[in-house]
Amino acid sequence: MLILQNDPELIDWVFNLKRMYAGGFLMAIGEAAQLADHANYPLMRPLLLDLKKKYPGYDRKAENDESALLLDGHDDGSGIDPHER
């Protein structure tokens, strides 16, 4: 059975949601995916795949990558996610 922690297609994208300050909605979905068990993760996976297509910027490696934050417009100093303005 598949859970996020052994899903190579989505694990980096989901963990980058928090690392790159994706905003409340995406971060909540990512947190739910991290907590989902074997019975519930397969229900979430299609949603995660659709969101990954909609927000591909979170697919890149985020470790110490300030340019990734700037390219996504998430570090304008306001502390507010541009998607929630």
Which tens digit of pLDDT belongs to each residue from 12-36? Answer: 999 999 899 889 999 999 999 999 9
The DSSP H or E segment spanning 14 is helix 11-19
Would 80 be classed as within a structural domain? no
Q: Please indicate, yes or no, whether the overall pTM of this predicted structure exceeds 0.95.
A: no
Side-chain-side CA neighbours of residue 70 (13 Å): 4
CA–CA dist 8, 30 (Å, integer): 15
Structural domain for 53, as ranges: 4-74
Would 79 be classed as within a structural domain? no
pLDDT in tens, 30-85: 999 999 999 999 999 999 999 999 999 998 764 445 444 444 444 444 444 445 44
Would 83 be classed as within a structural domain? no
If one counts the domains in the chain, the total is 1
Closest among 63, 60, 84, 64 to 74, alpha carbons compared: 84
CA–CA dist 56, 6 (Å, integer): 20
